[in-house]
C-alpha cells in the first residue's frame, strides 16, 4: 500500500518499484489522500485554458485513472481536498476545509479502514518533512504513521474493521541530492545540458525544511523506467513533457542510477540492511510471489 498526497505523486515517487512488483504478481494499492484540486497546471501547452481550469477535479480523476492502468495498480481516494502549496511572505492561511486542516482522527480512521480491508504487508509514505514542504505531504506522513500504528489495535477505531498488522513502513526517497548530483555529473560528462541546476537551487532553498534521507533499501527498477515515465505523462496537466523529469536519457539513468530508494521507518520483521527488496524478511520463508 503506497499512500500519496495528490494524484501524480504515485507516478513521481516509487512508481517504477510499484510497476516491478505488479509484474511480479504483488497486489499493489495506491491511496491518494486528496483530489489534487489545487495543483498548478504545469504543462505549457495546456496553461490558461478555461475548460481545463473549470473542470480540474474531474480531469485529475481521469488522469489518475490512466496512470493507474499504466502502472497496473489498484487505487482508492481518501476523499480530502487539496490544501495547495502556500506561497508568499508571510504565508497565506490554508484554505478552509482542506486536508491539512482536517482533524487527524477523521483522516486516520479512513486510512485505517483501508488498511484493514486491503491488509498490506508493506506500506510506503513520506518522511516527517513530507519529502517536499507541502502541507498535504506532511499530513500524508502523519496520517500514514498513525494508521500504521492504529490498524492492529482493536481498541482504536473499532468501527473501522478487523485489526490488521502491517509489517513494514517505508518512506519514499524520491528526490535524493545524491541521485541528482550523480545524474547531473553524468549529463555533463556526456556533453549534454543538465536540467538540474534550477532544481538543485530550489532544493537548496528548502534545506532548513528537509533532512538527508537515511537510505536503507535500494530496489533495482531500471527496466521499469519507461512505465514510470508513461504514468507520469498520464497526468498531462501536471507535468511539462519537455521538463527536467524527462530530459535525462533512460539508458543514462539505468547506467548511473538504476534503483529507487526507500528508508525503512518501522519493521516487525528481521531483514539485513541494506536491502534491495521492500518484502525482505517477509517472504523469505514463503515461496516468492
Cβ proximity to Zn ion, 76 vs 117, nearer residue: 76
Cβ proximity to Zn ion, 131 vs 195, nearer residue: 131
Considering only residues 2, 3, 5, 56, which one is a binding residue for Zn ion as defined by CB under 5 A?
5
Binding mask 6-35 for Zn ion (x = CB under 5 A): x--x--------------------------
For residue 213 the three cell numbers come to: 534521507
CA 226 – CA 205 distance, rounded (Å): 31
Helix axis angle for 225-234 and 56-71, nearest 10°, is: 160
For residue 47 the three cell numbers come to: 496553461
CA 27 – CA 72 distance, rounded (Å): 9
Cβ proximity to Zn ion, 5 vs 236, nearer residue: 5
CB of 6 to Zn ion, least distance (A): 4
Q: Which helix (H) or strand (E) holds 145?
A: helix 135-150
Coil, strand or helix at 200: helix
CB of 5 to Zn ion, least distance (A): 4
CB of 260 to Zn ion, least distance (A): 17
Cβ proximity to Zn ion, 5 vs 70, nearer residue: 5
* Residue of 224, 234, 196 lying closest to 66 (CA atoms): 234
The stretch among 4-12, 51-59, 185-193, 277-285 that binds Zn ion (CB under 5 A) is 4-12
> Which positions lie near Zn ion, rule CB under 5 A?
5-6, 9
Amino acid at each position: 500500500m503506497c499512500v500519496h498526497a495528490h494524484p501524480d505523486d504515485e507516478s513521481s515517487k516509487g512508481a517504477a518499484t510499484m510497476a516491478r512488483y505488479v509484474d511480479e504478481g504483488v497486489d499493489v494499492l495506491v491511496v491518494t489522500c486528496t483530489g489534487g484540486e489545487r495543483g498548478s497546471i504545469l504543462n505549457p501547452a495546456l496553461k490558461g485554458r478555461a475548460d481545463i481550469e473549470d473542470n480540474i477535479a474531474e480531469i485529475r480523476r481521469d488522469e489518475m485513472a490512466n496512470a493507474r492502468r499504466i502502472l497496473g495498480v489498484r487505487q482508492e481516494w481518501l476523499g480530502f481536498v487539496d490544501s495547495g502549496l502556500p506561497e508568499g511572505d508571510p504565508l497565506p492561511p490554508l484554505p478552509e476545509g482542506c486536508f491539512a486542516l482536517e482533524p487527524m482522527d477523521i483522516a486516520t480512521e479512513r486510512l485505517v479502514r483501508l488498511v484493514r480491508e486491503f491488509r498490506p504487508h508493506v506500506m510506503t509514505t513520506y518522511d516527517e518533512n513530507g519529502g517536499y514542504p507541502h502541507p498535504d505531504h506532511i499530513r500524508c506522513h502523519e496520517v500514514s504513521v498513525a494508521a500504521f500504528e492504529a490498524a492492529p489495535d482493536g481498541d482504536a477505531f473499532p468501527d473501522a474493521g478487523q485489526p490488521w498488522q502491517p509489517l513494514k513502513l517505508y518512506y519514499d526517497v524520491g528526490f535524493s541530492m545524491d541521485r541528482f548530483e550523480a545524474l547531473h555529473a553524468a549529463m555533463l560528462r556526456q556533453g549534454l545540458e543538465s536540467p538540474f541546476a534550477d532544481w538543485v537551487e530550489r532544493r537548496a532553498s528548502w534545506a532548513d525544511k528537509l533532512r538527508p534521507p537515511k537510505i536503507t533499501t535500494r530496489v533495482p527498477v531500471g527496466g521499469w523506467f519507461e512505465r514510470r515515465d508513461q504514468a507520469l505523462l498520464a497526468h498531462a496537466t501536471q507535468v511539462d513533457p519537455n521538463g527536467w523529469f524527462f530530459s535525462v536519457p533512460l539508458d543514462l539513468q539505468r547506467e548511473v542510477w538504476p534503483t529507487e530508494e526507500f528508508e525503512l521507518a518501522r519493521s516487525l520483521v528481521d531483514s539485513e540492511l541494506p536491502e534491495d527488496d521492500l518484502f525482505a524478511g517477509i517472504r523469505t520463508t514463503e515461496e516468492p510471489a
